[in-house]
Amino acid sequence: MARIDDVARQAGVSSSTVSYVLSGKRSISKPTRDRVLQAVKDLGYRPHAGARALASSRTNVIGLMLPLRPGVNVAVVMEFASGVVTRARELAHDVLIVTADDPDAIGRAIGGSMVDSLIVMDVESNDPRIGVLSDSPVPVMLIGLPDDPGGLSCVDFDFEGAGRLAVARLAARGHTHLALIGSPPSVYERGTSYARRLDRGYRAACADRGLEARVLQTTASIAAGQEAIAELLAAHPEITGVVVHNEAALPGVLMGRAGLAEPLDVVAIAPESIATGLGTRLDLIALPAQAIGREAVDLVMAQSDEGAAAQTRLLSPQARALDPSAS
């Protein structure tokens, strides 16, 4: 059975444009309208009742699917959510937060006239929600980048680029023995996109320089960070540079570094608010979580209001040295 994204793909437009043509809710140019109607006829598409009902009214509510899964750092997640809520409020919209992520929860949010659009977080590389979301009668924005977005729009941080940049920063300072202290094992095991992409960028940058790419997946706690440093240096005392992508473990890593006889260079990938609050010297590649949340709202609103085409946007990583003693 044809879905709305199949019609959109054949007509070369966004799913929301197909919805506007079928509902008559917004004025669409005749050439575009003709292409959509021809695609509908060719594919035998039949919009379901929920889509037709939703197209006839606006709620001024954006849905935010924010699943609280094992290994998720709530403080970081709330930075994304803060960006979404703040930007939505500026645009006179409210936000409905959905913490479940099963198909029934998705259906309630997008098929029950509750929201005008939906933003989805904690995206996996092979996310099982893509099929349901691709058939959504309302615009959908992913905060994350799956292997196959299924025609959906995506916005995220360039985690692969961040992994490469972290290695480049350390290599430029002469470090040839590196390690990545990464996300919790549960995050890797469920195939979370950001962890896999950062790992891929880190490994690729090490390979480009002929360096061994050591990786240690670490649970999210201060104690785990301390243990990670002790474990790494016990097995590989030659390590002098560490990339940390685990905000909860980062304080422990820095505490473990403080007790070493030899200096250890750290590059952290974390929201600036978390890194600066630690009060110690390190390189920071700031995760612009609030900016990504705001961007997600702007992009999904453009789809909802203007029928903008689906797109993928990755925010580029930037690095800078944090040195509280210099301020």
CATH number where 242 lies: 3.40.50.2300
What is the residue-level pLDDT of the chain in tens, covering all 327 positions?
Answer: 677 778 888 999 887 787 777 765 566 787 888 898 888 888 888 655 444 444 446 788 999 999 888 777 888 999 999 999 999 999 889 999 988 777 677 777 776 668 889 999 999 999 988 888 888 888 999 999 999 998 999 999 999 999 999 999 999 999 999 999 999 999 999 899 999 999 999 999 999 999 999 999 999 999 999 999 999 999 999 999 999 999 999 999 999 988 787 789 999 999 998 888 888 888 999 999 999 999 999 999 888 766 777 899 999 999 999 876 665
Q: Among 57, 79, 102, which residue terminates a domain?
A: 57
Q: Among 57, 73, 102, which residue terminates a domain?
A: 57
Residues 166 and 277 both lie in one domain: yes
Asked if residue 173 belongs to a domain, the reply is yes
Nearest-angstrom CA–CA distance, 132 and 116: 16
Asked if residue 63 belongs to a domain, the reply is no
Residue type for 19, please? S
**Structure confidence at residue 105 (pLDDT):** 73
**Structure confidence at residue 219 (pLDDT):** 94
- Residue found under tokens 């960028």: 201
Q: Among 18, 42, 57, which residue terminates a domain?
A: 57
Q: What is the residue range of 19's domain?
A: 1-57
Full DSSP string of 270-285: E-HHHHHTT-S-EEEE
Asked if residue 134 belongs to a domain, the reply is no
Number of domains in the chain: 2
Residues 163 and 283 both lie in one domain: yes
Nearest-angstrom CA–CA distance, 324 and 327: 6
Asked if residue 274 belongs to a domain, the reply is yes
Asked if residue 204 belongs to a domain, the reply is yes
Could you give phi then psi for residue 158, rounded to 5 degrees?
A: -80, 85
- To 5 degrees, how large is the angle CA 102–CA 107–CA 111? 165
Asked if residue 246 belongs to a domain, the reply is yes
**Structure confidence at residue 280 (pLDDT):** 83
Full DSSP string of 54-68: HHT----EEEEE---
Tokens representing 29 are 């140019």
**Structure confidence at residue 54 (pLDDT):** 45
CATH number for the domain that contains residue 32: 1.10.260.40
Helix and strand totals (H; E) in the chain: 14, 12
Asked if residue 313 belongs to a domain, the reply is no
Tokens representing 295 are 């961007």
**Structure confidence at residue 31 (pLDDT):** 86
- To 5 degrees, how large is the angle CA 109–CA 115–CA 120? 60
Asked if residue 259 belongs to a domain, the reply is yes
**Structure confidence at residue 49 (pLDDT):** 42
**Structure confidence at residue 47 (pLDDT):** 59
